[in-house]
Structure 1
Amino acid sequence: MAVTQQLARIPEGYLAACRQSAGASSDGDPQWDPPAYDVLDLDWAPALLKRIGEVAGLEEIHLEALRRAIDGDNALDLGFLDTHPHAIAPFGPPPTGLGISQVAHVSELLGQISMPVLLAALPADERDAGSLIGQVGAITGGLREYLLEHFNALRDFYLDAAKRHLLVVLWWD
């Protein structure tokens, strides 16, 4: 089983209901089950996306937004989602998240990043490009296509979350 990064966009009320469920349950079950259309699997792209931003010289404000989009922060109390036997991130670090205003800010900054420009900063040779950003092994369809697809998915995910005034919860599973 591969461990990949997951993101869920959820209303504040859903998070509150999960917290209440965990508190009321004898085994701490938060009843965490966001709808599939509000979950994004970023696969193993997060480290590569951050690294291409660094290598390509992305401005610090945009690089920090990319990092926050991928790493979240600890502003939300998500400890109840990391409790055995119902932990949502049993194979990775504890879940993190971004509040509504953070999601809006990150979304705005992600929208200003041009992934084609970042990709153009990589060496033309696929192996050299992969080596530079820490890619291990071959990627079906090619590195550039993989990064573009996952960045676009991340950007669009945050854009929708911002439009709908949702939180984003991140974890590795």
Structure 2
Amino acid sequence: MKSKLIVALFIGVILSFTATAQNVTVSGATFPTKFKISDQVVEYNGAGLRTKYFFNLYVAALYVPERTSNAQTIIDQNVESAIRLKILSDKVTRDKFVETVKEGFATSTDGKATEKEIQDFMKLFNVEFKSGDEVILLYKPESGVEAYMNGKHLGGAKGLEFKKALWSIWLGKTPADEAVKKAMLGKV
């Protein structure tokens, strides 16, 4: 009886460790270490906390097929990848999000996105944002960037050049936040 209890406890400890090893938590936001895009498994590369005026706004996590700290490789690759944003503050409103991403496109150093493509993409985010929301930006070579909010598919934008411009907002030569870029690249 005693040996069965010890074995059960040991198995319980192993299973709980395995379950927690499948997630990573950064600044209170939890992300899976892997997930599937189409038939490709992408891995957690890193995540960083975006702050502004002492407010914790969101955590951005990067997923790629193979971990790397080379931002240009990630931007240029025509392979499945994703950026997941966990909203931490009600200060991140739909209007502020749209405005910030548009500003990011203006300073983006890679790819090409026309004004119409940017406007059409930003129209996808026509829902209110609140703390706890999750935005997922997936890139699939066959269809382009797809946007999801809280698991709901919002739409997308075609083409590798659009993905390069969008990913460059966080990973380019003039990112929205240098500390977030370094963290997403696993350099922290």
TM range (shorter): under 0.3
- TM-score, reference length from structure 1: 0.26
Q: Report the structure, 1 or 2, having the larger strand content.
A: 2
TM-score, with length taken from structure 2: 0.25
More helix by share: 1
Higher radius of gyration, 1 or 2: 2
Relative contact order: is structure 1 or structure 2 higher (C-alpha 8 Å, sep ≥ 6)? 1
